[in-house]
């Protein structure tokens, strides 16, 4: 287990997903955020980054281009810089066959959709004891789950408080995470394969229960 207060994190992408991830890590979990980036700049400081200041800068300027310019690094090297938690939260296919073997993180949390290519996936499967992968199908499921909650509330003309929504979300995510880890260990498969297998099983079961004419 990792102690969040002793961990460092790098977040690629500073939009709705990346900025919230960075802020939550820094100010709710006590993680030191040492790297943030967007399409204009990659910023790295092993002493830590003021994420709230970065957020305010983006609100005013629209991007990170002029933020902490002394700490700007080569975007091509950004994902392979040393950290405990790496969160690709921008575009797809950024973890590829060229850089997967160079990742220096302990946890790869895929907040973006499809940030890891199949070739990179095969490399990371061989590094399972070095890099703990939280696949996108599990890691970024929160948005879809809460969208479902919104649909249910609208359908039933019912209202949940923010804390109720958060509690329900966390219960689902924690249960799903535990299921994926257990399946991966039982069958000696990757977390991604385990998550996909569980997902397919749930769809099949739902189809069987609903029948031909739902």
Residue 92: CB atoms within 10 Å: 14
For residues 194 and 137, give the distance between their C-alpha atoms in angstroms, rounded to a whole number: 10
Rounded to whole angstroms, the Cα distance separating 174 from 201 reads: 19
> How far is the C-alpha of 15 from the C-alpha of 89, rounded, in Å?
8
Is 174 within 8 Å of 185 (Cβ atoms)?
A: no
Note the pLDDT of residue 214.
Answer: 57
pLDDT at 1: 80
Residue from 84, 147, 83, 94 nearest 120 by CA: 94
Q: How many angstroms from the chain centroid is the CA of residue 63?
A: 21
What pTM did the predictor assign?
Answer: 0.94
Which pLDDT belongs to residue 94? 98
Q: How far is the C-alpha of 19 from the C-alpha of 148, rounded, in Å?
A: 23
**69-107 pLDDT, tens digit each:** 999 999 999 999 999 999 999 999 999 999 999 999 999
Q: Lay out the sheet containing 32-37: strands in order across.
A: 42-44, 32-37, 8-12, 85-88, 107-109, 132-134
Architecture of domain 4-140: 3-Layer(aba) Sandwich (3.40)
Point out the residues of the chain with pLDDT beneath 70: 214
């Amino acid at each position: 287990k990792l102690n969040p207060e002793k961990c460092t994190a790098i977040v690629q992408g500073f939009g709705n997903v990346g900025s919230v991830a960075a802020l939550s890590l820094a100010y709710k979990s006590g993680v030191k955020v040492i790297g943030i980036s967007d399409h204009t700049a990659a910023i790295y400081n092993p002493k830590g980054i003021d994420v709230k200041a970065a957020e305010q800068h983006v609100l005013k300027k629209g991007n990170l281009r002029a933020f902490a310019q002394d700490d700007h690094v080569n975007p091509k090297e950004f994902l392979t810089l040393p950290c405990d938690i790496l969160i690709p939260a921008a575009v797809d296919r950024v973890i590829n066959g060229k850089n997967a073997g160079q990742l220096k993180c302990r946890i790869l949390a895929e907040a973006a959709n499809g940030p890891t290519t199949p070739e990179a996936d095969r490399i990371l499967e061989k590094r399972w004891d070095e890099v703990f992968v939280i696949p996108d199908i599990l890691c970024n499921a929160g948005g879809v789950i809460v969208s479902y909650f919104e649909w249910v509330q609208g359908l039933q003309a019912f209202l949940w408080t923010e804390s109720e929504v958060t509690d329900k979300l966390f219960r689902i995510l924690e249960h799903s995470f535990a299921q994926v880890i257990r399946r991966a260990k039982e069958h000696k498969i990757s977390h991604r394969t385990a998550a996909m297998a569980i997902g397919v099983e749930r769809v099949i079961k739902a189809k069987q229960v609903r029948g031909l004419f739902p």
